């Protein structure tokens, strides 16, 4: 393909030449505006020397832009039909690796160790129906990324950034707060995508904390307690503790009292700091 044409046009030509049609079932909505994608990468703070794991490269326009500005790129794509498109757009760049796999099923820790190295960042424009699962998957990856930049549905962004007392406060929001600080970098209207989705979107960044509330060796226990607190909404914390941990009513009451919480408190009303009090009361 002619190297003189812009990356955006190259992506369009490659998609057309290979007869590719976006699959609704895979949540494929692409951004083919080179300048706008470059703007998003500026907001993401991706720069020279960065190692980036990209999930869902689609036709590879963002992948090519990442390769121009970062040190090393590994792009993980589920749809094999995009292989010729990606190869045409990204080309044979020494600092880029294309991996065709399901990001939710593959061993991201091994992939990062083998092909990327640390420190690293994650960038993704992915199907919205896997947003929560992918964020949790990235939080399980070791070493953790320095940051996670995602295109998400506006509604999901509001949920991810919710706080205690908000109607959207949930286990996922609490988990995100445990691991990092989340912010909206850019509101993205439907017309930025091809085909245009029926929802508004946001490009967000989660800056991952180096020092978290509990040591890494105890993170799994703490995350279990977070999930427990939201196990049954509108139920008391005591009921959730009994259901998840199989403790007696007396033991649940004593646990809550030791944490300095009200006997009839609901788990969904707790702040992250109060969940930590509950965690420390059980493990003191």
Cis-peptide, bond into residue 23, ω within 30° of zero: no
pLDDT digits (tens, 9 = 90+) for 141-170: 999 999 999 999 999 999 999 999 899 999
pLDDT digits (tens, 9 = 90+) for 208-255: 998 999 999 999 999 999 999 999 988 999 999 999 999 999 999 999
pLDDT tops 80 at residue 3: no
Q: What is the pLDDT of residue 126?
A: 85
* Spatial distance between the Cα atoms of 97 and 76, rounded to a whole number of angstroms: 9
pLDDT tops 80 at residue 207: yes
* Least reliable range by pLDDT among 18-22, 60-64, 200-204: 18-22
Q: What is the pLDDT of residue 54?
A: 98
pLDDT tops 60 at residue 1: no
* Spatial distance between the Cα atoms of 22 and 20, rounded to a whole number of angstroms: 7
- Tokens 């953790």 appear where? 144
- Encoded tokens for 106: 């593959």
With beta carbons less than 8 A apart as the criterion, state whether 180 and 206 touch: yes
127: Cα separation from own chain's centroid: 11
With beta carbons less than 8 A apart as the criterion, state whether 244 and 187 touch: no
Percent of the chain residues topping a pLDDT of 90: 90
Average pLDDT in the chain: 94
DSSP per-residue letters across 14-54: HHHHTT----GGGT--B---HHHHHHHHHHHT--TT-EEEE
* Least reliable range by pLDDT among 37-46, 68-77, 123-132: 123-132
**Torsion angles phi and psi, residue 38, rounded to 5:** -60, -40
For residue 241, CA distances in Å to 133, 255, 278 come to: 24, 9, 11
Q: What is the pLDDT of residue 74?
A: 98
207 C-beta neighbours (distance < 10 Å), count: 16
Give the long-range contacts of residues 231-240, CB within 8 A, separation 24 or more.
231/267, 233/266, 233/268, 234/266, 234/268, 235/266, 235/267, 236/264, 236/265, 236/266, 236/267, 237/261, 237/265, 237/266, 237/267, 237/270, 237/278, 238/263, 238/264, 240/267
* Least reliable range by pLDDT among 19-33, 38-52, 69-83, 108-122: 19-33
* Spatial distance between the Cα atoms of 260 and 256, rounded to a whole number of angstroms: 7
280: Cα separation from own chain's centroid: 28
pLDDT digits (tens, 9 = 90+) for 175-187: 999 999 999 999 9
* Spatial distance between the Cα atoms of 176 and 192, rounded to a whole number of angstroms: 27
pLDDT tops 90 at residue 79: yes
pLDDT digits (tens, 9 = 90+) for 233-246: 889 999 999 999 99
Closest CA to 28 of 157, 106, 129: 129
For residue 16, CA distances in Å to 63, 74, 142, 151 come to: 19, 25, 39, 24
For residues 190-216, average pLDDT: 95
> Which domains occur in the chain, in start order?
7-208 (3.40.50.150), 216-283 (1.10.8.100)
Q: What is the pLDDT of residue 233?
A: 87
Q: What is the pLDDT of residue 2?
A: 52
């Amino acid at each position: 393909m002619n190297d003189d044409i812009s990356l955006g046009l190259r992506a369009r030509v490659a998609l057309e030449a290979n007869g590719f049609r976006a699959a609704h079932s895979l949540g494929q909505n692409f951004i083919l505006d080179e300048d706008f994608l470059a703007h998003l990468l500026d907001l993401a703070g991706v720069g020279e020397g960065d190692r980036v794991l990209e999930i869902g490269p689609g036709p590879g326009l963002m992948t090519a832009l990442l390769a121009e500005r970062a040190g090393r790129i590994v792009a993980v794509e589920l749809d094999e039909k995009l292989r010729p498109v990606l190869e045409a757009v990204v080309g044979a760049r020494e600092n880029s690796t294309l991996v065709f796999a399901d990001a939710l099923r593959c061993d991201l820790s091994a992939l990062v160790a083998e092909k990327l190295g640390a420190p690293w960042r994650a960038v993704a424009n992915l199907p919205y129906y896997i947003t929560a699962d992918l964020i949790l998957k990235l939080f399980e990856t070791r070493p953790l990324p320095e940051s996670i930049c995602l295109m998400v549905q506006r509604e999901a962004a509001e949920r991810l950034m919710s706080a205690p007392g908000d109607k959207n406060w949930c286990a996922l929001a609490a988990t995100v707060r445990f691991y990092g600080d989340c912010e909206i970098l850019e509101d993205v209207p439907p017309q930025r995508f091809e085909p245009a989705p029926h929802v508004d979107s946001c490009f967000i960044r989660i800056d991952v904390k180096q020092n978290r509330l509990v040591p890494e060796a105890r993170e799994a226990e703490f995350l279990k307690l977070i999930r427990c607190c939201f196990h049954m909404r509108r139920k008391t914390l005591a009921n959730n503790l009994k259901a998840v941990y199989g403790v007696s009513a007396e033991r649940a009451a004593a646990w809550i009292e030791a944490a300095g919480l009200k006997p009839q408190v609901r788990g969904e009303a707790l702040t992250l700091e109060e969940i930590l009090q509950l965690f420390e009361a059980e493990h003191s």
